Amino acid sequence: MEGVKLKAQTQIFLFVTLSLNFLHILGPAVVTKACQPSQLKYVYTECHNNARWRVQVPNKTCSGGAVEFPVPGKKCDINCPSGQYLDVEKNDCSNCLAGTYSLGSGVRFDMWTAGLPDGFTSSADRLDTKDAGSCSRARWKTMGSYLSGQSDNNCQLSLTYTVNVVSSGSVTFLYQYRSELEFFAFEVQNGLCESVSSREDSGSPLLDETDRNEIKRHTVPLKVGMNVLRWQIVPVADRIRPSGSSSASKSSSIIAIHSIEVSGIPYVYSCQSCHPGYSSAIGAPKCSKCQANTYSTSGQSCQACPAGQYSGPGAASCKPKPACAASDYALFYAQSPCTVANNYQVTRPSYNWIQPKVCDAGVSLPSNSGGGGNGNLPASCKGVYCNPGTRAAAANDEKDPLQCEACPEGQYSDGNSTVCQPCPAKTQVVHEYVASNWLVTPPLMNLSCLVLQVDGSSTCSEQAWQLMGDRVQTAPTRMRNSRVLTLDLPGFHQPQGAQQGDDTAASFAAAAAAAAA
């Protein structure tokens, strides 16, 4: 076996040597300048039995020079971890530089500018061969953060990407599709041009439509070997019109691909630059969004905005701050516990800047003394009743009267007292959850704010809700975040076999105890 291996390596070496000599012989017929070290680059030869050579070759502007002797390259099945790439010059995996990232054994496409990325091809074919019209208007248009599929009547538009998978991988893409005029399909073909099912549930390559402003995720496993990924926009047959005829309105239609991620490839030769508004540390597997009042250009770290300028999160540049106006502030109502420690005082409304503050100079905040506000907010929360169906958790005024708990089984309260009453004879309890007192957040309820993104969500930092005594309302903000009110009711009765404390009454008691802690 050693003799066979040596023979194979000798053949590869002879091939590389002959190739370099061939370049050296033909080179002087075109250029005569000898290559300097900066004009030489390293490349790998083709793989053979999982082996290859790393060689140094000149660029097109020179020939010859001090070319290094070929050395064995890394095995063809090498896998660089995420945050690294295969550095041909070092003949090993290296960390990505700051401002760049790598998936290691995968590649992601999520910025669509200046034409299709390398490896992608686009084609348009006319379905009706009797129609002599062209498909010049059918194309994939790069829109920055997404790729827009713009079909033409009677033309099928395709987007193709071919990848060689060396280990079990997958393709995941985010898309939008809403159209009455076209079908949107995706399929995978192997090296034998055999279609691989795009959907395990039905086997159909047709993608589901999305709701308005919805972005869906679609994942298909990839087998080892050559895989051809193909996205297609196909006109609906009964709505095809002759060339030159007016088309139906497509103002509400959209077919867009936001990102494509392929895993299972052996390595990448370079790291991808972070998009403007994003940055990364050395050896990062992904980029992070720049915080507010910072910015970054492509492949750079986040920098603070100059004095007198501002930016939102994920900004590629900063803007000058305008002068502050009355529309830049508002009345805020902050929640404060109704306790003996703060003398049962309800927090009064106060003027404050709407966050994030993006103005400078101009008007000042009005005085908070006598600032008015909501007349339904009492000066004291002492003696304010609990919500219907609940009672005060403490029996005397030296405790916190707004610590409420559910009425015991067989009793009720109408919200006009701090105690529960037994049900009259020949009546039974009607179980309800009623929230009408909004001086504190009712038990079992959570008021929150979420930043919704395609790749997940996170909580907001600004005040999301305001308790107004007779109602709850969202707080003023400049951010386009989601305000969430969650009510968790485990049930009004214990299910058969449940443990003590599994019903709503027990949850009320637990919530009151947690608030008093």
Q: Where are the domains of the chain?
A: 37-72, 106-237+253-263
* CA 166 to each of CA 27, 118, 223, 248: distance values in angstroms, whole numbers, following the listed order: 37, 20, 8, 46
Residues 6+ apart with CB under 8 A from 387: 404, 415, 434, 435, 436, 437, 442
Residue-level pLDDT at 193: 73
Containing 2, the helix (H) or strand (E) segment is helix 2-26
Encoded tokens for 161: 């990407």
Question: Does the N-terminal peptide bond of residue 356 adopt cis geometry, omega within 30 degrees of 0?
Answer: yes
For residue 144, what is the DSSP state? Answer: B
Supply the pLDDT for residue 167.
Answer: 82
Q: What does the pLDDT read at residue 147?
A: 93
Is the CATH number 1.10.10.350 carried by domain 106-237+253-263?
no
Q: Strands 147-150 and 254-263: what pairing?
A: antiparallel
Residues in the chain, pLDDT under 70: 1-32, 128-133, 197-203, 237-252, 334-348, 368-385, 393-403, 452-459, 461, 491-517
Is 293 in a helix, a strand, or coil? coil
How high is the pLDDT of residue 309? 93
pLDDT of res. 362: 87
Instruction: Classify the C-alpha dihedral 364-368-373-377 as positive or negative.
Output: positive
Structure confidence at residue 512 (pLDDT): 52
Dist CA 470 CA 464 (whole Å): 17
Question: In Å, how far are 52, 57, 232 from 69, measured between CA atoms?
Answer: 14, 11, 48
Q: What residues pair up with 5 in beta bridges, in sequence order?
A: none
H helix or E strand, kind and range, residue 511:
helix 504-516
In terms of phi and psi (left: phi > 0; alpha: psi -120 to 50; beta: otherwise), the region of 458 is: beta
> What pLDDT was estimated at residue 344?
60
Neighbour-count burial for 169-193, b at 16+ CB within 10 Å, e otherwise: bebebbbbbbbebbbbbbbbbbeee
Report how far apart, in Å, the C-alpha atoms of 517 and of each of 50, 164, 240, 403 are: 65, 59, 69, 11
CA angle (454 as vertex; 263, 97 as ends), nearest 5 = 55
The whole-number pLDDT of residue 498 equals 47
pLDDT of residue 244: 46
**Token pair listed for 104:** 């290691």
CA distances in angstroms from 482 to 210, 216, 465, listed in the order given: 20, 19, 11
Give the pLDDT confidence score for residue 465 in this predicted structure: 86
Question: What pLDDT, in 10s, does the model give residues 471-497?
Answer: 888 888 877 778 888 888 776 655 554
* Res 303: pLDDT: 92
